[in-house]
Amino acid sequence: MNSLSPRAAVGLFLIVVLAWGVNWSVTKQLVQFLPPLWTSAIRSWIALAGLFVILGLSNNLVIPERRDIPVVLSVALLHMTIFSVLVAAGVRYLPASKAIVLGYTTPLWVAIAAPLLGKDTLTAPKLAGALLGLIGLAVILNPTSIDWTNTNVVMGAGMVILAAISWAANIIYIRAHHWIASPLQLLIWQVLVATIVLTASALITEGLPHVELSRNLILLFLYSGLIGTALAYWAMSMVNKSISALTTSLGTTGTPLVGIASAAILLGEPIDKSLVIAAALIVAGIGLATLGDRLLRAQATARG
């Protein structure tokens, strides 16, 4: 389970893109039953159980060393907690198709913020990609696509964009971290910390959850926790060992497209012109920014 053939890696990567894309529509349905904090907490408990089995079978259960604790906390808090809750809260007021496009502006915020923080160099492709992405963001936020007179809709869009920025901050930190254990081995500890924080926050702010269990709700949580979270995180860690970072970075731009399609199929959301244009601009911008980043790294490697 610790090595994959190229064909298996590509197949697993396609599963990740599909799992993450569909998970936005699933989350949209879950927050109709439970508040965002409890939605994220319960999903996290299910993912934790799934990862314990997966990592136990693949002999990847280890105790993290002290130098890895900061990255465990960074991923757990910035990505698995703040990103998760803000997306769940925002998607209550936004169509899942628009939310996923806003959520996947993360690489654009990385491309903009990393050079400003002295963590990277701004190249022409990265600048062009960031500008394309920002134009796409403007398209999806224009008054014909987002109702600016509806406070809830504006708040929802703002929360998803803040979620993307939180994920970007996590990515910038991860790039600077010197790993001791592998990302796969630290995954269960990141999920454990996120689960504890999410559950404590939900209990303090919302009390015990009140919901009527149904077959549909259980299936939604099982999908989101086991497939959309546990399986997807494990699979992505495995894929990163077998496929180049450039391929995975560019390939994940397919996730918003899957999300738009699944929202149309599962939720009946319309695919309007502004959504298509915005998604195309943002995906193209992410592609340019990613290519610029990899070109810069290749030149640095060539120079030694």
What average pLDDT score do residues 22-44 get?
96
CB 27 within 8 A of CB 259: no
Confidence of residue 297 (pLDDT cuts 50, 70, 90): low
The pTM assigned to this predicted structure is 0.89
- Write down the pLDDT at residue 299: 58
pLDDT band at 6 (very low <50, low <70, confident <90, very high): confident
2 contact partners, CB below 8 Å, separation of at least 6: 58, 59, 60, 238, 241
Tokens linked to 191:
């999920």
CB 29 within 8 A of CB 269: no
How many whole angstroms separate alpha carbon 260 and alpha carbon 265?
A: 9
Q: Which whole-number Å values give the CA distances from 264 to 42, 200, 241, 259, in the listed order? A: 26, 35, 33, 9
User: What number is the average pLDDT over the span 29-41?
Assistant: 96
**In the predicted model, what is the mean pLDDT of the chain?**
89
Average pLDDT over residues 209-228: 94
C-alpha–C-alpha distance, residues 17 and 253, integer Å: 9
Question: Taking CA 15 as the corner, what is the angle to CA 13 and CA 279, rounded to the nearest 5 degrees?
Answer: 80
Predicted pLDDT of residue 3? 58
What integer pLDDT is reported at residue 302 of this predicted model? 58
Distance CA(280)–CA(275), nearest Å, equals 8
Please report the pLDDT score of residue 175 as a whole number.
Answer: 81
For residue 178, the 8-state DSSP code is -
As a whole number of angstroms, the distance between CA 160 and CA 36 comes to: 13
Could you tell me which of 108, 46, 67, 94 has the C-alpha nearest to residue 233? 46
* Contact (Cβ atoms closer than 8 angstroms) between residue 129 and residue 290: yes
Non-local (6+) Cβ contacts of 27 within 8 A are 39, 87, 88, 91, 96, 224
